[in-house]
Homo-oligomer: A and B are copies of this chain.
């Protein structure tokens, strides 16, 4: 499905890269033989820890999503780039029918537009300050850009700088539907903000974002559905306020991997923005379906390959993936195939401690299921895309690996 041609390499000069960034000579030459596995070689030859995507499983997830979307012909799929940060994967999603992508950071959007020529990018977050707003405007000269707002001054900045560059931006007012993060209060507060947008040049009021992140991780399907109904009620109330003020709201976006079928099923939402479904993780795998059993809609496609580096007795085995290789924020990774018998305990920045030592040997390479895919991906430079025999089909860069600059 993916077409790449990777070859082995020996040395790279980071110096040249830094030189370009800083317009100066940094001196150090770094030698990083990290990606020492060739296309066609077995992934087990690569230095651990690394991220592997099982291509077949990822494609199953992408196809499953398109299959599900057929139930909701009036709802668009705009997958979230923040989960994978990969231009290659985003292009594949669009090829299969996504209308574009969501990005959470400006760097993600820049990777998608400049790195992937993706034509329709929604920045599902507020981007503040003249320096960053200028970068948003630059993007809008190349692709169709929409962006979240919840603040008057920011809206004025976006309009003014877009006007100066003769660019056009679609603005989406974020509504706080219970996550208590960004976004205005649901209801009447939307009207003056939408009117402000409509009154200003080079910006256009596109609609509202009604996303609730915490709901994605509620285990019970019945409760996720009920909470999504609450979200939809708040979104509906906001839309009605706009309608009363004669402002059209043709766009309502929200929903993640945990709740998207409910948003899509309301008849209110026009777009959903799930991201993690391409990979899945231990946290999402704990969500239950309507029968309150394991939700098997999507399969695990992302794994951390790690080496057992120390064993002293049967009590534990130490692996070379610590919190610099696996984010622990939503619970630890699971040991694939031994999810119930072996527990990963934090061993600090560079180590994981598996208890008990269930027959592991020093030097053995094992697979971990990430606890939370998004921040784990952000710890790595590349993915190995592998086939069913663990043969490397391609090496995909994590293009927008970033603190969110």
Contacts and interface: CB of A to CB of B under 8 A. Distances in A.
Interface string A236-253: 000000000000000000
A273 to B, nearest CB: 14
A391 interface: no
Nearest to A6: B22
Interface stretch (A159-167, A293-301, A314-322, A336-344): A314-322
A367 to B, nearest CB: 15
Contacts of A380: 403
A286 interface: no
Given A47-B132, A114-B28, A213-B348, A150 B312 contact: yes
A183 interface: yes
Contacts of A375: 323-324, 349
A184 B7 contact: no
B23 A8 contact: yes
Q: 3 smallest A-B Cβ distances: which pairs? A: A28-B115, A182-B310, A325-B403
Contacts of A8: 23
Interface of A: 4-9, 12-14, 16-18, 20-24, 26, 28-36, 45, 47-50, 82, 87, 104-107, 110-111, 114-116, 125-129, 131-132, 135, 150-151, 153-154, 174, 176, 180-185, 213, 307-313, 315-316, 318, 320-325, 327-329, 346-351, 353, 362-363, 374-375, 378-381, 395, 397, 399, 402-405
16 contacts: A9-B20, A30-B111, A34-B402, A50-B403, A126-B310, A128-B308, A129-B307, A151-B310, A154-B362, A180-B353, A181-B348, A182-B310, A184-B312, A324-B403, A349-B404, A350-B404
Contacts of A32: 107, 110
A391 to B, nearest CB: 17
B307 A128 contact: yes
Interface centre among A115, A151, A312, A404 (most CB of B within 10 A): A404
Nearest to A107: B32
Copies of this protein chain in the complex: 2
B24 A6 contact: yes
Contact of A26 (B21, B311, B397, B404): B397
Contacts of A348: 181, 213
A200 to B, nearest CB: 18
Nearest to A25: B5
A187 to B, nearest CB: 12
Contacts of A31: 110, 114
B312 A176 contact: yes
B22 A395 contact: yes
Nearest to A325: B403
Nearest to A138: B31
Given A12-B21, A324-B375, A395-B22, A182 B115 contact: no
A34 B107 contact: yes
B16 A403 contact: no
A397 B27 CA distance: 11
